[in-house]
Structure 1
Amino acid sequence: MKHDSHFRNAVVLGVAIVATTLGSAGARAQDAASWPDHTVELISNNSPGGATDILLRELAEGAKEITGQEFVVINRPGGNGATQMSAIAAAKPDGYTLGAVTLTHLTNMMTSLKGTFDESDFSNIVGLQTESHLLVVNADSPFQTFEQLHDAVAARGEPLVLAGAGAVNSAASIGAILSVKGAGVPFSWVSHQTSSEAMTAALGGHAEAAIALPSTAREFVDSGRMRALAVIGPESLPAYPGVKTVQDMGYDVFGDWQMYRGIYGPAGIPDDLRNRIADVLIEATESDRYQKYVETRGFTPSRVRPAEFDKMATDLKGLAETAMIEAGILPAK
């Protein structure tokens, strides 16, 4: 009888554990399905007007229409992304604190922020954009073409004063090292928070040229205030007809470098919730407003879901390492 009692107790305990486990799983699934039921914070690593700030504001409008909940954009620039990353990493993994993530986040975690953050501190949600860079000059610049700029800098023996977003390990700077310096144009890097600020510096005569995102540069180029000399990326851009990539001009450079942008959150967000958030944000990109944003800004839209985004991030880390070794930022293995 005593053994039977122990057996019954064990069975009851086992059933209780199974029921608790199933109940928890059911609760998590219900929580994921009901996301969001209150305000979601979207944190940008840029100041207002920067590329990720604009992305988040466009997403916020579409997501609000779909869910009826507020999506509030918060700007946390500074520290090579560390200010924003600290806020994301410290948040609860409940889907209510999310942020924009870019290739520069990855390169910073491999360089200036190595040991402070790594990929395990975050959850990838959805990849939404890829974008090359442009080399642009003031419309009054004597450089009409990249070839002219190349020859002039070589003849004078002084580096080009080049403005761009981020420190020397940013995606913009690495692209410039690979394609501009790689083509034989040495430069002195002038760091700014955003592409817009870098172009403003070039317009004001504080830099001879700028590395800019095509989506940000378009209004400057279309208005005739700036001129695009080259695409830094794998292929030419439909929005900039006649502007070739550096490698298409015949220079032997590493031309596969591109910016990406997406959405991430703190580590520990369950897969079902990651997928639910991705579903909502992908649906938000289908709105007429977002499609107009795509058309006017000129980047390449994408819809990379969580599992695929995890793999993409791993692949990009390998590419980033190769690029930064090529650029001299990381030592060769």
Structure 2
Amino acid sequence: MAVLRSRGDGLFARASVIPLALRLLSIGPVLILVLLAVLFSLLTPNFLKPGNLGNIAAQTAVIAIVAIGQHLVILTRGIDLSVGANLALATVIGGLVFRSFDSAILVMLAMLLSGSAVGAVNGLVYVFGRLPHPFIITLASLSICRGLALELAIGHTTMRGMPELITTIGGASTFGVPNSLFVVLIVTGLAVLMAKAMVWGRWIYAVGGNPQAALGMGIPVRAVLVSTYVISGLCAGIGAIMLAGRTAASSPLYGNLLELDTIAAVIIGGASFLGGRGHIGHALVGAVMIGVIRNALNLLNVDVFFQMIALGLIIVMAVEADVLRNHLEARARVVQASRTQ
């Protein structure tokens, strides 16, 4: 009896500790962001000044928007390595359209269609080409889009000039708040609405959680997969508008390593490479965290190479947190099964 009581007490203790650990992991990104903000405000007095906070918001906007599309792809156990080159190609196409038509609407439409078209090609080739993993086609698209952007750009370099409406959206502020932040909020709201209030959103989580089970339930798995890559490309097109507006230019060199930043933002935010888990709001937290770290390190005059090292270490810690979360969830299921017996 004493042995059984001891085992029961142990199970009860684990049953109470594991949910607490899982809850801490779920709020971990937000908690880390708050702690970083407090730490950096103590290290540099300029960090919390309104002007610097506005800079962080403007600098983070492109990463945040593109990370939303990347988040949807990762939810389905995929990855999109082409977002940076896709963004660069979209800006170049927008710049070329601007040279022929002085119309902000046409320029923005060209960028959006360019980004969406690349995303559609990624999704269609991956799904209907029966590729083993989207890594292959999106890596190929990265190279193709970057090459096309360099070839199409006049002089193979930066092209100056963008319509006033685009520069207002990407580079101006309203009541001291960057307009790009409003775009991020709008895109986020639409993404959350689709993911949480529409059947399509539940299908994404189902496909990412168990593709075979989703197929057996009658969910159009192929259409869902293709749609996520189209949206990822669309988000790259929106990011192109933001970046072109902020710089009043288009360039085949834009978006360098953006794919790594967006993947880092999604994983830091708590999504899983195993698919089926993650919240769009958390991806934004991850994007802001990247922006905060880079901004603070710049204020502290830290070398850019050490900034890359810091970001790499954060990604490793985020992946390890995901591994720990999976382990704790498995243990929680074991404990729950033991308590029901």
TM > 0.5:
no
Greater percentage in strand = 1
* TM norm structure 1: 0.26
Higher relative contact order (CA 8 A, sep 6+): 2
Q: Which has the larger radius of gyration?
A: 1
